[in-house]
Amino acid sequence: MIRLFVALPMPAATTLALRELCSGLPGARWVKPEQFHLTLRFIGEVDGRTARHVADELAGIQMPPFELALHGVGTFGDKRAARSLWAGTRPAAELERLHEKVDGAMARLGLPADRRKFAPHVTLARLNQPPVDRLGAYLSHHALFNAAPFTCDRFVLYSSFLSHGGAIYTPEQVYPLGGNDDHAWMADEAEDWADEDWERSEAARERESWEAERRAFAPAYGFGD
């Protein structure tokens, strides 16, 4: 079984802007910058055959690139029971359209619908009972957060591995936006775009260990063809 989701990766300049938000709140477990993404659809655990069908169905999505800008911060859960902290987006009809296309692709495969309303965001931290006054101050201080618009010219099928240090996300297939169904770019190109400048860390070494294991069984899922 492999755990999958579809998301937009964050370019380097946007990642730097988000990184500036990741401090100053007790009880926050900050997401590593190389893990920033905007989820279009969580798929969950599937077998190898379904994973291959998912990858193939996503390759049929066609639409042009579009501009997106991140704006504001918020939480899931109220201030006394906040579970996660996120950066939001400015309204973008094209983003909604891409989400609908991804949802439609999964529906054609017979996968269960996501019952949650699409709320585009980039998760910044998982929260563990942060002081209510400090959380309120953080949200007020960053309420007007704005990042420069960037061009969304690809979306990514990721796998997720739950390690002791948190989730490790690995790009499996990258799908360019441009109105055609060319074969997806492969994972190393996606990683170069998002985290080319980040230093090696213990988590990165753990990821390499996981990827070594993953390469042993990846052919069963059809990734990397």
Where in the sequence numbering do the catalytic residues fall? Answer: 37, 121
Closest-CA residue to 30 (of 156, 201, 146): 201
- How far apart (Å, rounded) are the C-alpha atoms in residues 187 and 156? 9
Q: Report in angstroms the alpha-carbon separations of 219 from 17, 43, 53, 177, 208.
A: 37, 20, 14, 26, 18
Per-residue DSSP letter, 164: T
- How far apart (Å, rounded) are the C-alpha atoms in residues 214 and 169? 12
Tell the burial category of 112 from Cβ atoms under 10 Å away from its Cβ (0-12, 13-18, 19+). Answer: exposed
